[in-house]
Chain A
Amino acid sequence: MSSYSITEPSPRQKWVAGTLVILYAVITILPLVWIIATGFKSPSDAISYPPKIVFEPTLEGYVNLFTTRTRQTEEYLAANPPQTWADEIVRQYDMVIVGPSRYGERFLNSVIIGFGSTFLAVFLGTMAAYAFSRFRVPLKDDLMFFILSTRMMPPIAVAIPIFLMFRSLGLSDTHLGMILLYTAVNISLAVWLMKSFIDGIPREYEEAALIDGYTRFQAFMKVVLPQAATGIASTAIFCLIFAWNEYAFAVLLTSGTAQTAPPFIPTIIGVGGQDWPAVAAGATLFLIPVMVFTILLRKHLLRGITFGAVRK
């Protein structure tokens, strides 16, 4: 009989595991690759059948995403030669660029609302978690359960009351309204995550700072927060991902001023035919901030997800 180790997998097991991981990676990455590729296709390539794997890349989708265009007469086109590379691209369809699209504004709305609500949820959540972790709060367990219970139904289940509330309070289609809403949804997650992180920080650190002549708040800022950085980072990622991607409330509660990118992107398709490359370009750009944010905080995120298991 051949000897084997119970901790080290056999080559065959490694091969099977490796194949499964690669298969899973391909399945998850394929739609992403498809979206990014479509953004660089021409509209006809984007809908050709069978689908084109190899195609001639063009920035048409991106130009269409960021501009509004109108069709012009041949005389006009002849009298006004194209000024930029973008003009040339739209000229193939006898069109001229007449101004920017709304995508930039919507993207900026997403940034303001996403990061604003993330900051608020993490800030308030950390303060609340600290209080729950360190002080004798009356009805502590009941309050913690109550906070968690706001997560026990899908947030959209309360869409109609929230819609009515927002309408009477004048919060519909405002940045403040959306920030408050996303903060409210995220704060329970933030409190629970941060509480377990802060529970893991020995209270002697703060007591040492109190003895050393600092106030409770100074001790919190200078001693607890640096220790909780990992928790704050991973909580922030979870909150941002929710707020950034949220679609249902955004459709319901915003239409103009405060509309975020998710409800806007599908509307691009309606402007001048089935413009899939522009939609794909919008989606691609929309992925970037969360991806950058996540990669920057990746180290913390991994520790955050597994912290119960490996944190000392």
Chain B
Amino acid sequence: MADIEIRNLRKDFGDFTAVQSSSFTIRDGEFFMLLGPSGCGKTTTLRMIAGLELPTSGEIYIDGEDVAQRPASQRDIAFVFQMFALYPHMNVRRNISYPLVSQGMKRARVKEKVAEVARILGIEDILDRPVGGLSGGDRQRVALGRAIVREPKAFMMDEPLGALDAEFRERMAEELRALHDRMGATTVYVTHDQLEAMQMGDKIVVMNHGVIEQFGAPQDIYDKPATLFVAEFIGSPPMNFLRFAGSVEAGATHVALKGRDFAVPEMREPFDGDMVFGVRPEHVHLSDEGAYRGRILATEYLGTTQIVTLETPNGEVKARIPSDRPAAVGDLVGVDFNGATVTLFDRASGRALRSDLNEGVLHG
């Protein structure tokens, strides 16, 4: 197992830049998520770490060695593909043993290892079946088996749950995380599903248009987004954005929206111009009084909570409130925000302004 360090990694396909100077470090044993919408460069980044694409420039260190220009076969990593890519002309046993055969391992030892992996994954009874007739979950397990049998330095997974049915996905996500915890293997996992990333990852890198938007623990990324993109991409429903213009001083603890003061974490930098007041739906509070008011446009019942959509002077706001609190469409209610959780953004660049809340978290 190993640390993986990425420095100034860049990949161009002709005129198109898929990944722009990315840098981050994956610690030994981490479950590391590369998250972003499709076409953001996350899969290209993963393929460069694996050696399936050679970077245009930059360095990749696995276990301290620069492997950026080495072929995949010399990097000692395993890859789980979205479509599993099991060898269709081989049965389950041969699929799992294939990476060992390439190392020239003795047959008896191969048999032992395959049996051990099959036991861990609970696929002992299908070892002699062809891979063609297997269910999605079993294929996934065989693909994992082929990856873990070699005890590589790290695992690369490219949306490994993407091809599974929704009900199965949940279970495999748990199995995957449990497997990771037991083996302690460094894992790099690509997904476009923010819930999957939050649920399974130790660390998340959020990418967009080939650029790393933010890098950190799931909670930091959720609570302290570094950019408008991250704030919107993570969370369902996403963070509320109230647009306003004005100025803040370093040390300010309030901002004025339509003439009303709202608490914010103590600011660490001054700003003047168009801003966005970002607040998560669960930090929006409704009350009967209050001077800042909004009209309820819609309610969505979600069991223990409900999502209430309000029309406010600064645009639409969604609030997540307990289901037992009455809220009827058309009601006019007072709106307040939990000031300690608010992030202010520079509207033009999308960058979060530094404050007590996010100091030290932004940009890795």
- Asked if residues B99 and A205 are in contact (CB atoms below 8 Å), the reply is no
A240 to chain B, nearest CB (A): 25
- Asked if residues A211 and B87 are in contact (CB atoms below 8 Å), the reply is no
Picked from B83, B88, B146, the residue with its CB within 8 Å of the CB of A212 is B146
B103 within 8 A of A: yes
Chain B, residues 23-65, CB within 8 Å of chain A (1/0): the string is 0000000000000000000000000001110000000000000
Residue on B nearest A218 in the bound complex, by CB = B102
Contact of A204 with B83 at beta-carbon distance under 8 Å, contacts A212-B99, A226-B89 already known: yes
Picked from B52, B83, B146, the residue with its CB within 8 Å of the CB of A210 is B52
Picked from B71, B77, B87, the residue with its CB within 8 Å of the CB of A205 is B87
Chain A, residues 10-54, CB within 8 Å of chain B (1/0): the string is 000000000000000000000000000000000000000000000
Residue on A nearest B88 in the bound complex, by CB = A227
B78 within 8 A of A: yes
Q: Chain B residues near A205 (CB, 8 Å)?
A: 85, 87-88
The total of interchain contacts (Cβ-Cβ below 8 angstroms) comes to 55
A171 within 8 A of B: no
Question: Which bucket holds chain B's interface residue count?
Answer: 20 to 34
- Asked if residues A227 and B85 are in contact (CB atoms below 8 Å), the reply is no
- Asked if residues A223 and B87 are in contact (CB atoms below 8 Å), the reply is yes
Picked from A208, A210, A213, A218, the residue with its CB within 8 Å of the CB of B87 is A208
B241 within 8 A of A: no
- Asked if residues B85 and A210 are in contact (CB atoms below 8 Å), the reply is no
B98 within 8 A of A: yes
B247 within 8 A of A: no
- Asked if residues A211 and B83 are in contact (CB atoms below 8 Å), the reply is no
- Asked if residues A207 and B89 are in contact (CB atoms below 8 Å), the reply is no
B344 within 8 A of A: no
- Asked if residues A210 and B81 are in contact (CB atoms below 8 Å), the reply is no
Question: Which bucket holds chain A's interface residue count?
Answer: 10 to 19
Residue on B nearest A229 in the bound complex, by CB = B89
Chain A, residues 104-116, CB within 8 Å of chain B (1/0): the string is 0000000000000
Picked from A204, A208, A210, A223, the residue with its CB within 8 Å of the CB of B71 is A210
B79 within 8 A of A: yes
B72 within 8 A of A: yes
Contact of A202 with B102 at beta-carbon distance under 8 Å, contacts A211-B73, A212-B146, A226-B89 already known: no
Q: Chain A residues near B77 (CB, 8 Å)?
A: 211
Bound-state Cα–Cα, A227 to B85, Å? 12
The dominant DSSP class at the B interface is: loop
Contact of A208 with B85 at beta-carbon distance under 8 Å, contacts A213-B73, A215-B73 already known: yes
Contact of A212 with B98 at beta-carbon distance under 8 Å, contacts A207-B52, A207-B72, A207-B79 already known: yes
Bound-state Cα–Cα, A212 to B152, Å? 10
Complex interface residues of chain B between 61 and 116 (CB less than 8 A to chain A): 71-73, 77-79, 81, 83, 85-89, 98-99, 102-103
Residue on A nearest B156 in the bound complex, by CB = A211
Residue on B nearest A219 in the bound complex, by CB = B73
Complex interface residues of chain A between 171 and 222 (CB less than 8 A to chain B): 202, 204-205, 207-215, 218
B354 to chain A, nearest CB (A): 42
Q: Chain B residues near A223 (CB, 8 Å)?
A: 87
Bound-state Cα–Cα, A42 to B293, Å? 111
Q: Chain B residues near A218 (CB, 8 Å)?
A: 102
The dominant DSSP class at the A interface is: helix
Picked from B51, B89, B146, the residue with its CB within 8 Å of the CB of A227 is B89
Residue on B nearest A215 in the bound complex, by CB = B73
Bound-state Cα–Cα, A85 to B228, Å? 98
- Asked if residues A202 and B73 are in contact (CB atoms below 8 Å), the reply is no
Contact of A207 with B98 at beta-carbon distance under 8 Å, contacts A213-B103, A226-B89 already known: no
A217 to chain B, nearest CB (A): 11
- Asked if residues B89 and A210 are in contact (CB atoms below 8 Å), the reply is no
Picked from A207, A215, A226, the residue with its CB within 8 Å of the CB of B85 is A207
Chain A, residues 211-249, CB within 8 Å of chain B (1/0): the string is 111110010000100110000000000000000000000
B288 to chain A, nearest CB (A): 59
- Asked if residues B73 and A214 are in contact (CB atoms below 8 Å), the reply is yes
Bound-state Cα–Cα, A223 to B99, Å? 13
Complex interface residues of chain B between 222 and 272 (CB less than 8 A to chain A): none
- Asked if residues B81 and A207 are in contact (CB atoms below 8 Å), the reply is yes
A199 to chain B, nearest CB (A): 16
Residue on B nearest A213 in the bound complex, by CB = B102
Bound-state Cα–Cα, A251 to B166, Å? 67
B186 to chain A, nearest CB (A): 15
Q: Chain B residues near A215 (CB, 8 Å)?
A: 71, 73
Bound-state Cα–Cα, A209 to B79, Å? 10
Picked from B86, B102, B150, the residue with its CB within 8 Å of the CB of A214 is B102
Residue on A nearest B52 in the bound complex, by CB = A207
Q: Chain A residues near B86 (CB, 8 Å)?
A: 208
Chain B, residues 164-208, CB within 8 Å of chain A (1/0): the string is 000000000000000000000000000000000000000000000
Residue on B nearest A216 in the bound complex, by CB = B71
A183 to chain B, nearest CB (A): 28
Bound-state Cα–Cα, A226 to B88, Å? 9
Which 7 residue pairs of A and B lie closest in terms of their CB atoms, listed nearest first?
A204-B85, A213-B102, A212-B99, A208-B85, A211-B79, A210-B72, A226-B89
14 extra A-B contacts, CB within 8 A, seeds A205-B88, A212-B98, A227-B88: A202-B85, A207-B52, A208-B79, A208-B86, A208-B87, A208-B146, A210-B71, A211-B72, A211-B73, A211-B78, A211-B79, A211-B99, A212-B146, A213-B150
